[in-house]
Amino acid sequence: MASRSSGHNKARVGRYELGRTLGEGSFAKVKFARNCETGENVAIKILDKENILKHKMIGQIKREISTMKLIRHPNVIRMYEVMASKTKIYIVLEFVTGGELFDKISCKGRLKEDEARKYFQQLINAVDYCHSRGVCHRDLKPENLLLDASGVLKISDFGLSALPQQVRDDGLLHTTCGTPNYVAPEVIDNKGYFGAKADLWSCGVILFVLMAGYLPFEESNLMQLYKKIFKADFTCPPWFSSSAKKLIKRILDPNPLTRITIAEILENDWFKKGYKAPSFENDEISLDNIDDIFNESGGTDNLVVERREDKSASLASPVTMNAFELISKSRGLDLATLFEKQMGIIKRETRFTSNCPADEIISKIKNTAVPLGFDVKINNFKMKLQGEKTGRKGHLSVATEIFQVAPSLHLVELRKAGGDTLEFQKFYNNLSTGLKDIVWRYGDEVEQESKGANC
């Protein structure tokens, strides 16, 4: 398969060549990148300094970077380095290809007890280590648990983490944060809480979700949800073993003083079955230079510059995706997962293939999205679809990019860039109806494939 066309612009930051966008949110964008010196694939989180200053997020970003520097554990996403330009901050992270644990639950419905225990053991190992370094995550949930190509669990997203210096004189944290369904009752109560105890509650909810396939506490009304959490009002399904039920009930104890500790979990018979102790580095880490990435008064010696090669070239066709980038989009090395067999099965991103010309794909997406109430902005072979109506989490925003996989085959990727995931799913289901004639189908849909998209 051909590599990226030399006629296309290549953005580089320091020793890294930037590739496609892996995900984006209100304050950051994550891009696939390659270390030009070693050939290693990485993920680079890019933050805009002006946006950070505008929203008074310097403290939170410093905290996230400090946390990532402190943690060196096989079950936590590794941060390699932090760079800064005059306008941006670049956090270079380990790149994992196995997707989210959330996706695994969504596909299987629920996990068997032995498999759930394996992930729970890795989660507890990582959380225990973080706490030993004085770090509390405060937003543990399946969406923040990634899997590498070997199925090893990796905790990510330390944006809400707490360091020891945030603890008040009473020895407690006082910031209410996290995702409601996974938050401990003492966090909601707003009277101060121990971060380690609150993290453990979230781990208990995660274990329940892994084995049940649904949440222990779920209500459409937030106050009703909080009432259930305060009372620990939940019921384990009948397929849970009695020892698993006992452990979950001890973790989901609404009283943090009597809640089981991690030390006690490590000695629990159910937990210890097939347990493997982790091995990891324990280096001394310096946090002295974190302020430097926000400090421009010291000259430009330590600042990197984002530069582009082949600036004179025009983007007459989509970026050609090479084999390594194509593999990086799959679960491990299973390329079949790149091509959705049913367009309705999606989460926060989805993709399909088409043998239509790129210009025709863009035109078709635009003509379908506009009547659905979306403003469409096109930049070469990237599109931004912005919902006109305000949804549950603001305006729905969808980023779309077209890649050339072969001369007559394009890969179209759609990602939720902002807004609510359920609204994204509903939008995509509506959008897919208008795109049926440009989607290339294969596998168990051979009969439909012969009809295909003959543009």
> pLDDT tens for residues 333-385?
333 344 443 333 446 777 888 888 888 899 999 999 999 999 998 887 888 89
Residue 214 has pLDDT above 80, yes or no: yes
Nearest to 216 by CA among 233, 241, 201, 195: 233
Residue 58 has pLDDT above 80, yes or no: no
In DSSP notation, 121-176 reads HHHHHHHHHHHHTT-B-S---GGGEEE-TT--EEE---TT-B-GGG--TTS-B---
Which residues are tagged catalytic? 139
The predicted model gives 92-115 an average pLDDT of 83
Question: Do 73 and 180 sit in the same domain of this protein?
Answer: no
Q: Report pLDDT for 21.
A: 80
Tally of CA atoms within 13 A in the half-sphere of 115 that contains its CB: 12
Tally of CA atoms within 13 A in the half-sphere of 148 that contains its CB: 15
In a domain, 293, yes or no: no
In a domain, 356, yes or no: yes
> pLDDT tens for residues 259-301?
999 999 999 999 999 998 877 665 555 545 555 556 654 444 4
Question: Do 118 and 86 sit in the same domain of this protein?
Answer: no
Q: Among the three residues 71, 95, 119, which one is the final residue of a domain in this structure?
A: 95
Please name the residue that has the structure tokens 């072969």. 406
Residue 115 has pLDDT above 70, yes or no: yes
Nearest to 145 by CA among 126, 160, 164, 130: 126
Structure tokens given for 404: 């050339």
Phi-psi category of residue 407: left, alpha or beta, with phi > 0 → left and psi -120 to 50 → alpha = alpha
Question: Do 186 and 79 sit in the same domain of this protein?
Answer: no
Q: Rounded to two decimals, what is the model's pTM?
A: 0.62
- Give the separation between CA 134 and CA 332, rounded to whole angstroms: 33
Q: Report pLDDT for 290.
A: 55
Question: Do 161 and 259 sit in the same domain of this protein?
Answer: yes
Question: Do 58 and 125 sit in the same domain of this protein?
Answer: no
Residue 193 has pLDDT above 90, yes or no: no
Question: Do 74 and 200 sit in the same domain of this protein?
Answer: no
- Give the separation between CA 291 and CA 293, rounded to whole angstroms: 6
Structure tokens given for 113: 């007890």
Q: Among the three residues 39, 68, 95, which one is the final residue of a domain in this structure?
A: 95
Q: Express as a percent the part of the chain with pLDDT over 70.
A: 71
Question: Do 200 and 236 sit in the same domain of this protein?
Answer: yes
Q: Report pLDDT for 448.
A: 39
Question: Do 53 and 142 sit in the same domain of this protein?
Answer: no
DSSP 8-state symbol, 335: G
* Domain carrying residue 81: 12-95
Question: Do 210 and 242 sit in the same domain of this protein?
Answer: yes
The number of angstroms, rounded, from the C-alpha of 24 to the middle of its chain's C-alpha atoms is 9
Q: Report pLDDT for 287.
A: 47
Question: Do 224 and 342 sit in the same domain of this protein?
Answer: no
Q: Are 439 and 353 in contact (CB under 8 A)?
A: yes
Question: Do 121 and 226 sit in the same domain of this protein?
Answer: yes
> pLDDT tens for residues 407-431?
778 888 888 877 777 788 888 888 8
Higher pLDDT, 56 or 200: 200
Nearest to 44 by CA among 9, 5, 8, 89: 89
Please name the residue that has the structure tokens 């359920």. 422
Q: Residue 24 belongs to what H/E stretch?
A: strand 16-24
- Give the separation between CA 122 and CA 247, rounded to whole angstroms: 16
- Give the separation between CA 49 and CA 294, rounded to whole angstroms: 8
**Number of separate domains in the chain:** 3
Question: Do 88 and 118 sit in the same domain of this protein?
Answer: no
Please name the residue that has the structure tokens 């270390």. 35
Q: Report pLDDT for 327.
A: 46
DSSP 8-state symbol, 404: E
Three-class secondary structure of residue 284 per DSSP:
coil
> pLDDT tens for residues 124-144?
998 988 888 777 777 788 777
DSSP 8-state symbol, 317: S
Angstrom CA distances, 276 to 60, 142, 340, stand at 34, 21, 36
Does 45 carry a binding-site annotation? Answer: yes
Q: Among the three residues 77, 95, 113, which one is the final residue of a domain in this structure?
A: 95
The predicted model gives 35-60 an average pLDDT of 82
Q: Report pLDDT for 118.
A: 95
- The enclosing domain of 335 has a CATH number of 3.30.310.80
